[in-house]
Amino acid sequence: MSSTIREADLGPSKITPLPARTAANAPAPQAHGIARNPGMKLDLGFMESMRSVNRSALERRVASLTKRRSIKADNQAAWLLRAVACMDLTTLNSNDTEERVRRLCAKAVNPFRRDIVEGLGITGEKIRPAAVCVYHPFVATAVDALRGSGIHVAAVSTAFPHGLTPLSTRLQEIEASVKDGADEIDVVIPRGLVFGAKWQELYNEIVSMRAACGEAHLKVILGTGDLATLRNVMLASMVAMMAGADFIKTSTGKESVNATLPVGLAMVRAIRAYFEETGYLIGFKPAGGISTAKASLDWLVLMKEELGRRWLEPDLFRFGASSLLTDIERQLEHHLTGHYSANHRHAMA
């Protein structure tokens, strides 16, 4: 069996691509390839049109996507490498230390053992996680450890995972993370604003957070497992995008239910609706509990089938995951040797 991995194995999108924008209304691209979402005014009328969410239809769609999926052999290896390239390699533990963060960063810089790199015919420099995601106190350490690697540093910076400190405190935390060198900021929304349908207040908070980020990209975590209904998920997604989110993200990893495919599908459909309304491409980050290579393939298929090939790039798609890389490495080893090794052979931090 050939083990050469080709980008082409990811293939073109099988679905009709999103409609092309006309020259008149297409946002101007920026240096990194896509125009950054500037947000828009809070449009309750537009949100009203998104209110109806049919859970069983979403579940049927997810079932058909995951049932039809058949990615084998070399193709599977190429898709798994894509999952790594779209990963925010994460450590968000109460016992994190600078040493642990440094070890995680070293893993991000060299994610695969030499025998796997050589066996797959890839260079370790080319396939790396897009970012390392840490708590604010470890931003400077991660920036130092990743210097020159091209790997971004993401910080969870607004009283993660609950978001329940005064707004001024949360904004100061964002500013401190940006000052320390974070170029991506993952913020959590206070879920109570959703339960109270306090959309204007939620919008205003996220607008302030976007301003505090400056050039750093803003990922807005909804904490979907806490939001009770898919309708709430859809509406909170729309508010976040209208307020200027660069990405919307499912979960903190600390809710009792984290990233699930039906919830992800609802958020992806909101991204599609926002694109159709504004022409801006918003990224998506499922996070929390995604720990197996198989699960990562389900998410990649969902993105490709719902939004198209463009959303399989790290500027528009990320996994937030602490242990997924270990399982992917094991699967790649199996692809090469036919054997699985123990997790400790693929050391993380």
Work out whether 158 is an interface residue with ligand G3H (CB under 6 A).
no
Cα–Cα distance list, 286 to 23, 38, 97, 126, 339 (Å): 32, 22, 25, 23, 29
For residues 339 and 239, give the distance between their C-alpha atoms in angstroms, rounded to a whole number. Answer: 47
- The CB-of-58 to ligand G3H minimum distance in angstroms stands at 22
- What would the two tokens of residue 243 be? 């307020």
CB-count burial class (<10 Å; 0-12, 13-18, 19+) for 294: middle
Q: Does residue 226 carry a catalytic annotation?
A: no
Given 143, 320, 331, 346, the residue binding ligand G3H (CB under 6 A)? 320
Work out whether 293 is an interface residue with ligand G3H (CB under 6 A).
no
Pairing outcome for strands 131-135 and 87-90: parallel
Nearer to ligand G3H, 231 or 294 (CB): 294
Q: Identify the active-site residue in 285, 298, 304, 327.
A: 285
Nearer to ligand G3H, 47 or 156 (CB): 156
Token pair 């995008």 is at which residue? 241
Work out whether 253 is an interface residue with ligand G3H (CB under 6 A).
yes
- The CB-of-213 to ligand G3H minimum distance in angstroms stands at 17
For residues 71 and 63, give the distance between their C-alpha atoms in angstroms, rounded to a whole number. Answer: 16
> Which residue's beta carbon is nearest to the bound ligand G3H?
253
Work out whether 131 is an interface residue with ligand G3H (CB under 6 A).
no
Q: Identify the active-site residue in 88, 180, 183, 249.
A: 249
Q: Quick one: how far is CA 54 from the chain centroid?
A: 24
Work out whether 188 is an interface residue with ligand G3H (CB under 6 A).
no
Given 117, 145, 287, 332, the residue binding ligand G3H (CB under 6 A)? 287
Q: Does residue 249 carry a catalytic annotation?
A: yes
What is the SS3 assignment for 32-59? CCCCCCCCCCCCHHHHHCCCCCCHHHHH
Q: Does residue 43 carry a catalytic annotation?
A: no
Which are the catalytic amino acids? 186, 249, 285
Q: Which residues bind ligand G3H (CB under 6 A)?
A: 90, 92, 133, 252-253, 287-289, 291, 320-323
